[in-house]
Amino acid sequence: MVCRCQTSLFAAFPVPEAALREAVLNAIIHKDDATGTPVQISVYAYKLMIWNPCQLPPSWTLAKLRQKHASLPFNPVIANVFF
């Protein structure tokens, strides 16, 4: 579903608003600004991809990331605005 409201275009996507907000904020908070690459959001028919130029800390594994863990944002000043 797409609706036009004045000059903006809004699309309804079957993703809970809270989940979408969390994913976008995580991409911003954990973005490595040194790369100069912006956060990228791609919308497809059946998926939504949110990507940022960031790497896991050297001692982290995907297994650790999937477990409960402390946050280590690349942008602690930005992160503190949201916490």
Of the candidates 12, 23, 26, the one whose C-alpha atom is nearest the C-alpha of residue 79 is 26
What share of the chain in percent tops pLDDT 70? Answer: 83
**Structure confidence at residue 8 (pLDDT):** 45
pLDDT in tens, 31-70: 888 888 899 998 887 888 998 887 777 888 888 888 998 8
* Helix, strand, coil in percent for the chain, rounding step 5: 35, 20, 45
Q: Could you give the 3-state DSSP secondary structure of residue 5? A: strand
- Which pLDDT score, from 0 to 100, does residue 5 have? 46
- For the chain, the domains span 14-82
Instruction: Let me know the angle formed at the C-alpha of 78 by 73 and 79, rounded to the nearest 5 degrees.
Output: 45
DSSP state for residue 6 in the 8-state scheme? T
Residue 54 pLDDT: 78
Count CB-CB contacts under 10 A for residue 5. Answer: 7
